[in-house]
Amino acid sequence: MKNTGAFYKQDNTCTFCVWAPEKEQVTLHLISPEDRSLAMTKDEEGYFSITVENVPPGAKYFYNIDGQDLPDPASGWQPEDIFGPSAVVDHAAYAWQDQQWHGLPFKDLVLYEVHVGTFSPEGTFEGIIPYLDDLKETGINALELMPVCQFPGERNWGYDGVYQYAVHHSYGGPEGLKKLVDACHQRGIAVFLDVVYNHLGGEGNYFDRFGPYFSQIYSIPWGSAINFDGAYSDGPKGYFANNVIHWFGQYHIDGLRLDAVHCIFDNSAVTLWEVIQHKVEELSASTGRKYYLIGESDLNSPSILKSPTDGGMGLDAQWLDDFHHILYVLLDKEGQSRYADFNKLEQLAKAYKDGFVHSGEYVQFRKRRYGRSSAGVTGEHFVVFNQNHDQIGNRVKGERLSVLVDQARLKLAAAAIFLSPYVPMLFMGEEYGEDNPFFFFVSYKEEEHIKGIQEGRKKEFESFLKEGETFPDPQSEETFIQSRLDWGKRKQGKHKELLDWHRDLIQLRRTNEILQNTIKDDLFVQLIGEKGYVLHRQSRNGMEHLLCLFNLSDEELEYEMPTFKDEWNKILDSEANIHSLKAGEICHLRPTSVVIYG
């Protein structure tokens, strides 16, 4: 499983390597700084390679196969977009300034999901840097970038990216990403990257011209599944496993979030996951740093956290969608139409205490029994959120939670995740209640793909569209422009109030010893009627306690303070109207409020 791509050496010498096992001939076509065509040599595993002199950084090239010039599947840079030539990158040329950075424990992270193109007016990596100090001051210490590998056009979510090693040209290319990561690390902020290893985008995808990258066995919703266990699967397996190390090594990325891991199929004796784990362990041993892998999984199975040698994927954590679903249904009366199987406060209690809400019972949406218990899995192995790109962008009008519920419920939502034993994640702008929409958008070049995405979104939305209602055209630039953050709101009125609330919650989470305890067995949930609950957190020795009282209803609720402590001191209150209470006193919880006692 060789590394493929263009590997520059300091003496203007470059080695090119590409996998094409069924081809008899591959020609390297250098088009700059001078036009040259050179035959490559094939080895027994189907890798073609050649070392060439007088190839400076930035030199552009194609591989010529069967008379057609094609970009390098492992291209490190596509300066002229997805159909243009690949370009040589000198990774050693960048002078990193993050030597003092050694990473952060995963349990201490506050993740912040970012779409590079809509975060700032510039829509670039460097456009994010001026905002980092504000994010750090809020308490955010980890960016999670939506996919940045080369996708078609100038604007896209990135989940139909094609060239997995190439940093998108419109965001600032390889150097732009390095500058952002460097700037983050110098401020104590980690950087995670979203990657897609279950499929490749359709437009500009010539991988099948090189070799059998795609499976003939498995079917997934977004295109051809990757061939990880069929004939010739060593090539694709090496391509994606080496990509993990590419981001960690060349770009100093701290962790990856892997999209839809349930659509990665590998029944090999040595799976993709074992290959990745081995490579990451080797890199960690050499750098002394821990690198993290987070999975998005539709399996509701804790087994993906197991070692690959025990049949798992070896992931460090996974997104906990169930937590989002039940909390959203309890906060928004329209939520039931989207998540029919989530409807009881007891399910939120289970999400806090166990993790998965659906853990083996019959689920109507699935039409089958679904999930497995995750009780006993400690909290740092799950990421919770109220919003993410999917939850917002897959609504007809791209509404954020700030448009769907009032300010009081936004505060409740924030408290629910930051007081949980899990690792919290915000979607960009959530901390101040951004109310601009976040739509799905693309900028395809080929009519076939433009029409396909437009018709696909129409079909996806047809059950949610009211009579005469339309949805934004994903191909339109205006759809993209409307999705940009309006950072100027951040310190005004209700937006500042919500920002201050997030800051207080993060500060409490970071400084309170009890909230550092991620053992779910040390956590208890007591229900107060149908719309209230007490989240009881305690220290590992059981001596210190926090009572987090939530009222999700529009009516006042009463709760008698426990008697195992003489006095309960108020720590934080979303309504700022409740004072410290003595044991046995009645706490009158205002409608849609949360108060924390210790």
Q: Can you spell out the DSSP letters for 102-152?
A: ----GGG--EEEE-HHHHSSS-SHHHHGGGHHHHHHHT--EEEEPP-EE-S
**Any known ligand binding at 257?**
yes
Listed in order, the ranges of the chain carrying CATH 3.20.20.80 are 109-507
Helix (H, G, I), strand (E, B) or coil at 70: strand
d(CA 297, CA 571): 36
What is the CATH code for 517-597? Answer: 2.60.40.1180
The one catalytic residue in 144, 160, 296, 341 is 296
Superfamily of domain 5-91: Immunoglobulins (2.60.40.10)
Q: Identify the residue whose tokens are 């999984």.
A: 297
CATH code at 109-507: 3.20.20.80
Q: Give which of 93, 214, 195, 111 is closest to 151, Cα–Cα.
A: 195
Q: Is 261 annotated as a binding residue?
A: yes
pLDDT tens sequence for the chain (598 residues) = 899 999 999 899 999 999 999 999 999 999 999 999 999 999 999 999 999 999 999 999 999 999 999 999 999 999 999 999 999 999 999 999 999 999 999 999 999 999 999 999 999 999 999 999 999 999 999 999 999 999 999 999 999 999 999 999 999 999 999 999 999 999 999 999 999 999 999 999 999 999 999 999 999 998 899 999 999 999 999 999 999 999 999 999 999 999 999 999 999 999 999 999 999 999 999 999 999 999 999 999 999 999 999 999 999 999 999 999 999 999 998 888 889 999 999 999 999 999 999 999 999 999 999 999 999 999 999 999 999 999 999 998 999 999 999 999 999 999 999 999 999 999 999 999 999 999 999 999 999 999 989 888 877 777 777 766 778 999 999 999 999 999 999 999 999 999 999 999 999 999 999 999 999 999 999 999 999 999 999 999 989 999 999 999 999 999 999 999 999 999 999 987 778 899 999 999 999 999 999 9
Give how far Cα 385 sits from Cα of 110, 242, 390, 431, Å. Answer: 10, 30, 12, 12
Question: How many Å apart are CA 461 and CA 468, to the nearest integer?
Answer: 13
CATH 2.60.40.10 in the chain, residue ranges: 5-91
Query: Within 10 A of 326 (CB to CB), how many other CB atoms are there?
Result: 25
Report the C-alpha gap between 392 and 427 in whole angstroms.
9
Q: What is the DSSP letter of 192?
A: E
- Active-site residue (options: 259, 266, 274, 430): 259
296 in active site? yes
Alpha-carbon radius of gyration of the chain: 25
280: Cα separation from own chain's centroid: 19
State the sign of the Cα–Cα–Cα–Cα dihedral 501, 325, 336, 428: positive
Question: Is residue 234 annotated as involved in ligand binding?
Answer: no
- The DSSP bridge partners found for residue 5 are 17
252 is in an annotated binding site: no
Q: How many CA atoms lie within 13 A of 128 on its CB side?
A: 30
Q: Of 70, 71, 72, which is closest to residue 7 (Cα–Cα)? A: 72
d(C-alpha 517, C-alpha 521), whole Å: 10
What's the rounded Cα separation, in Å, for the pair 112 and 552? 25
Phi-psi category of 128—alpha, beta or left, where left has phi over 0 and alpha has psi -120 to 50?
A: alpha
How many beta carbons lie within 10 A of that of residue 249, not counting itself? 16
Is 258 annotated as a binding-site member? yes
Tell me: is residue 169 an annotated ligand-binding position: no
pLDDT of residue 468: 67
CA distances, 75 to each of 24, 57, 167 (Å): 22, 13, 9
- Of residues 195, 198, 207, 194, the one with CA closest to residue 265: 198
446 catalytic per annotation: no
CA angle 371, 373, 376 (to 5 degrees): 150
Query: What gap in Å lies between CA 320 and CA 448, rounded to an integer?
Result: 36
Q: Is 156 a known ligand-binding residue?
A: no
Q: What is the 3-state secondary structure (H, E, C) of 349-398?
A: HHHHHCCCCCCCCEECCCCEECCCCCCCCCHHHEEEECCCHHHHHCCCCC
- Domain(s) labelled CATH 2.60.40.1180 in the chain stretch across 517-597
